[in-house]
Amino acid sequence: MKDTYPQKDINQQTYKIQNGELSSRTEHDMLLDTRLLSLSRELLPQYGGNWNFHNMVTLKQKALSRIIYYHELYQKILDVPGVICEFGVQWGASLALLQNFRGMYEPHNVSRTIFGFDTFEGFSTVDSKDGGFAEIGDYSSLPNYEDTLDEILSIHEGLHAINHIKKFELIKGDASRTIDAWLENNPHAIVSMAIFDMDVYKPTKDVLEKIMPRLVKGSLLVFDELNCPQLPGETIAVQEVLGLNNIKLKRHPLQSYCAWGVFGE
């Protein structure tokens, strides 16, 4: 899930790709958003020990919609063995959601490792098939942010059952390249859910091709920018690897460009 987004001018309006949805923000929207952020910063130090709970007072509809969406995705793999792979992590909000859902619904399932793949430096490659909206370096986080995210996820895990066993791993680098070593180092790994949030053509196609032998009937394939006119590369990659006629895709009413399909259906 992306938390900061590059802005582009299209048809003389400012658009953002936000949480899988292309949206136009009016000046009124931005003023309200800025004020909500200011209030959140003012109130956070006052919440005390329940800061994480009370901070939901400034949780916006888009963020809540994303939580609901990921919650429903997780329900679909509870009876499917295997690990979860998210390709495209950025700040790690989705990874934290997945980790907490695992702690809630299958606290004793030590085999449900969650792997997060990202350059943490933004797009390392952009293809002509990506439509001209994406640029090298878009969606970067911070230098060495993977260390901070590892600490955050470790804290979450420390609050769950069987917390002496680490059940997540971050893989830094271009997923087109790192996926080979991951497959070699994890010959046991069945992929119960693969989340593609890399947005652009080449890494999406490369990874999708390479993980196919690790999918089972019932594995969930999740795409974050499918049918998106500004980022066509993801759709093209799915078309070239799977064939759009060969996969039954579904969407969620709370997300515009997100889609998922059950492998083998």
pTM of the model: 0.89
Contacts of 71 (CB under 8 A, 6+ apart): 97, 101
Taking 70 as the threshold, does the pLDDT of residue 67 lie above it?
yes
Instruction: Indicate the pLDDT class of residue 59, thresholds 50, 70 and 90.
Output: very high
d(CA 118, CA 140): 9
Residues 144, 170 contacting (CB under 8 angstroms): no
Taking 60 as the threshold, does the pLDDT of residue 263 lie above it?
yes
18 falls within a domain:
no
CATH number at residue 173: 3.40.50.150
Per-residue model confidence (pLDDT) at position 129: 94
Q: Which residue has the tokens 């989340």?
A: 195
Q: What is the mean pLDDT of residues 252-265?
A: 93
Of 8 and 108, more confident: 108
8 falls within a domain:
no
Smallest CA-to-CA distance from 147 within 175, 124, 118 is with 118
d(CA 260, CA 197): 12
Convert the pLDDT of each residue in 6-56 to its tens digit. Answer: 444 333 334 444 444 445 578 888 899 999 999 999 999 999 999 999 999
CA distances for 169 relative to 48, 87, 150, 224, angstroms: 31, 12, 8, 21
Its domain, for residue 148, covers 61-262
Residues 115, 181 contacting (CB under 8 angstroms): no
Smallest CA-to-CA distance from 163 within 115, 96, 103, 111 is with 103
Per-residue model confidence (pLDDT) at position 91: 96
45 falls within a domain:
no
11 falls within a domain:
no
Q: What are phi and psi of 223, to 5 degrees?
A: -125, 135
Taking 50 as the threshold, does the pLDDT of residue 243 lie above it?
yes
30 falls within a domain:
no
The number of distinct structural domains making up the chain is 1
Per-residue model confidence (pLDDT) at position 27: 86
Percentage of the chain with pLDDT > 90?
A: 86
37 falls within a domain:
no
110 falls within a domain:
yes
Per-residue model confidence (pLDDT) at position 16: 44
Convert the pLDDT of each residue in 182-205 to its tens digit. Answer: 999 999 999 999 999 999 999 999
Q: What is the mean pLDDT of residues 171-178?
A: 97
19 falls within a domain:
no
Taking 60 as the threshold, does the pLDDT of residue 1 lie above it?
no
